[in-house]
Amino acid sequence: MSIKIAPKIRKATVTFTTQSRECASHAILTGEWDGWTACAMKKNRNGTFSVKVNIYMGKCYQFGYSIDGNWTPDTDLPMVASPFGTSNSILDLTEAAKKSASKGKSAVKRKIVRRLAKS
């Protein structure tokens, strides 16, 4: 399983990719960022499932996958017990928010320096 985070100003585009079980027919992503709303994942030619989701940065979120109806956490990430006797994965977007903010500040500083240099 893998997660790719592309931070923007206030949100990040997060690409979730799961390794499917043999012959899995469908996968659903659900997480705290939208009240656990089911989001269907696209089956790729290589047998994995993926989906892109825009999520607010600066927080940690619990999430998981339902692969053919079986709850599956992302074992590559930290996990926490759920109230249903399973485990949820933790997606931490606090670092992405810090990095995005520092990049934004340096870009603003460069613009100001360029304007001053032209004056």
What is the per-residue pLDDT across 21-48, written as a single tens digit (0 to 9) for each?
668 899 999 999 999 999 999 999 888 9
pLDDT at site 46: 87
Structural domains of the chain ordered from first start = 2-118 (2.60.40.10)
Residues of the chain with pLDDT under 50: 104-119
Give CA torsion, residues 65, 70, 71, 77, to 10 deg: -60
pTM: 0.76
pLDDT at site 99: 61
Residues with Cβ within 8 Å of 31's Cβ and at least 6 positions away in sequence, in order, are: 53, 55, 61, 62, 63, 64, 91
